[in-house]
Structure 1
Amino acid sequence: MSELGKATRIPPENFEALKHSEYVVLLYPKLLATSSLIEIGYALALGKEIVIFAKEGERMPLVLSGLSVPLPKVRKYVVPSMKEAAKMVRENGSFVLEGGA
């Protein structure tokens, strides 16, 4: 929280954690300038399973809104709120992470 409002900064340990993660989950509530987009790009390069929760009705960056070439390891859910995203994962666990609705 102390980094909010400061220049975008990605701690090196985040990249190390991404290397060892099976899934990368991004909660993206609205159009933001955030280092998480760089981390998603890194996860794409590593071939990680990526799950993105985007808020309904919000504008998203291209990497999150859909590309002309489908990315098979990227799943995106459009939800009314981030609370609903957390509820989906809590109630459905790996089913949601693996592409279930």
Structure 2
Amino acid sequence: MKDFFVRLLEKPALYIFTMGLLCVVLGAAGTISFQGETIAVADPAWRIALAVAGLALAGLGAALIARDTRNPRPSQPFRLDYDIFIASPMAALDDPAAYHAQRQEVAAITEALHSHAGIEKVYDAGTKIPAANEAGEKMGAVKWDPKDFAAEVDLEALRHSKYFLLIYPHRIASSVLFEAGYALGMGKPAVYVVRKRDQLPYLMQELNNLSRIYPQVRIWECDDTAAIVERIRQTGTRMFTADVPAPDC
């Protein structure tokens, strides 16, 4: 609830809605007192005019708020359900050993985020896959969600996350690249963890050097999980702050 009101304060729609409510109250009661100050309107005609104008403003503000809550594009939604959205290849990995190794790496990174970076609420789509499915000998045994449903769930979770973390172990055609683009478009501060920078698509390789009018992106080149965890430990809560140098892996 706190996040809800904090985000509302950043929206012009809130001020329109609040002003409308104040006009309605003033028109109905005739007086409003706040911190020792009193505003009074005695003329009945003015009170009716204020009430009508207030209803119009409140209605407009409510409509704007409702529109924004339904629109998946705003970079700052009314609520933040997650501190961070972790994107790592899953369905794109057709080797069970690689898949399980990737899940272990994500688990270690998640633990480091909890312990050193002040991260509490994490969205990781991999945690939604039942353990029985992960134990399958073939990747085909994993029961993935329907593609359209998975896309909607992931995009909504990404929209309601504060930060974005891309774990991209090697060049691979994976949905994580789509998620990275979506996060960039919404202005989410991001960290891309890669083995080598040139394994990223061409336009992503220097995103950390864009001017500050664009979302903050940091690219970490780390050789293994231990190096990633150590970098999170050293960087701590500054890991998503682009103007603070981070130690090398």
The structure having more radius of gyration, on CA atoms, is 2
1:5-24 equivalences in 2 (<5 Å): 5=94, 9=147, 11=150, 12-24=152-164
What's the CA shift string for 1:26-80, capped at 9, x where partnerless? 111111111000001111111111111111376221243126x725511111112
Q: Which residue of 2 aligns with 1:64?
A: 204
How many angstroms apart in 1 are the aligned matches of 2:170 and 2:90? Answer: 20
Match of 2:231 among 88, 92, 95: 88
Match of 2:217 in 1: 74
Whole-Å separation in 2 of the counterparts to 1:57 and 1:73: 17
d(CA) in 2 for partners of 1:98, 1:30: 25
Q: How does 1:35-54 map to 2 (within 5 A)?
A: 35-54=175-194
CA RMSD of aligned residues (A): 2.7
1:32 corresponds to 2:172 = yes
Gaps in structure 2 of 5+ consecutive residues: 1-88, 95-139, 141-146
How many residues get paired? 98
Q: Which moved more, 1:81-90 or 1:11-20?
A: 81-90
In the alignment, the residues of structure 1 paired with residue 183 and residue 220 of structure 2 have an alpha-carbon distance, to the nearest angstrom, of: 18
TM-score (norm 1): 0.76
Moved more, 24-33 or 84-93: 84-93
Q: Distance in 2 between matches of 1:55 and 1:2?
A: 17
Contact conserved, 1:53 with 1:77, CA < 8 A, in 2? yes
Structure 1 gaps, min length 5: none
The higher relative CO (CA closer than 8 Å, separation ≥ 6) is in 1
Asked if the contact 2:189–2:217 (Cα under 8 Å) also holds between the matched residues in 1, the reply is yes
Which structure carries more strand by proportion? 1
Secondary structure at the counterpart of residue 158 of structure 2:
helix
Identity of aligned residues (%): 30
Deviation at 1:2, TM superposition (A): 7.7
TM-score of the two chains, using structure 2 as the length reference: 0.34
Counterpart-to-counterpart distance in 2, 1:63 and 1:57: 11
Instruction: Judge which range, 20-29 or 52-61, deviates more.
Output: 52-61
Relative to its length, the structure with more helix (as a share) is: 2
